[in-house]
Amino acid sequence: MRAEETDLPGVLVLEPRVFADARGFFMESYNRRTLADVAGIADEFVQDNHSRSVKGTLRGLHYQIREAQGKLVRAIRGAVWDVAIDLRRSSPSFGRWVGVELSEDNRRMLWVPVGFAHGFLVLSDIAEVLYKATDFYAPAHERAILWNDPQLAIRWPLDGEPVVSEKDAGAPLLRDAELFD
C-alpha cells in the first residue's frame, strides 16, 4: 500500500497493491498492520457502512461532534468525488477542504480523520461506497454543513443541481455550525 499526503494534514489518499491478471484482480482493502506501518493509521474500526446512490447524488457534509468518527472511504462500484473539510477551530487548515476521485477503477481510498466533515458526489450512473468508521453511529451527535457553503467554496464537479436529502439541504453554514475545538 502507498500513502499519499493531501493538502490537509492527516487526510491521506491510500493506494493498495493490486494483483491483476486475465481472471480479474486481488487486493487487500484493509490490513491493520499495513495501515499502521505505511500510513500511521492505528485507529480501531468498529463499524462498516455501505451506500448506493445514483448519479448527481450529493451526500454530506457529515460529521459527529461527539463520538467523532474517522472514516476510511472507498468506491467499489462507479465513481465519486470525495471531500474532507477540516472543522477543527484550532487547526491552521481550519475551513479548508480537499477533494479526490475514488472509483472502482482507481481503487483509491481516502482516510478522513476525526475532526473533519465528509461528503461525496456521485459521478457515475450508480456508485457504491464502503467506509469503515472508528466509532459507532450516534444520531444525537450527528451534524452537517451545507454542501454549497460559500465560505468553503468547494468546487464540486457538478452539471446542474445535485440530488440531496431534505436534511442535507437544510444543513447550517460553517459559521453557524457546532465545530471541533
Where are the domains positioned within the chain? 45-176
Q: Kindly list the distances between the CA atom of residue 155 and the CA atoms of 18, 132, 143, in Å, as whole numbers in the listed order.
A: 30, 25, 21
The whole-number average pLDDT for the span 68-72 is 98
**Using 50, 70 and 90 to split pLDDT, how confident is the model at 1?**
very high
The residue to which cell 447550517 is assigned: 172
Helix (H) or strand (E) holding 115: none
**Using 50, 70 and 90 to split pLDDT, how confident is the model at 152?**
very high
Predicted structure pTM score: 0.95
Q: What is the pLDDT of residue 67?
A: 98
How far apart CA 123 and CA 131 sit, in angstroms, is: 18
> Is 45-176 a domain of CATH 2.60.120.10?
yes
CB-based contact 83:139 (threshold 8 Å): no
The whole-number average pLDDT for the span 139-150 is 98
The catalytic residues are 62, 131
Paired residues of 52 in beta bridges = 128
pLDDT in tens, 111-137: 999 999 999 999 999 999 999 999 999
Paired residues of 64 in beta bridges = 142
Q: What is the pLDDT of residue 14?
A: 97
How many other β-carbons are positioned within 10 Å of the β-carbon of residue 153?
Answer: 9
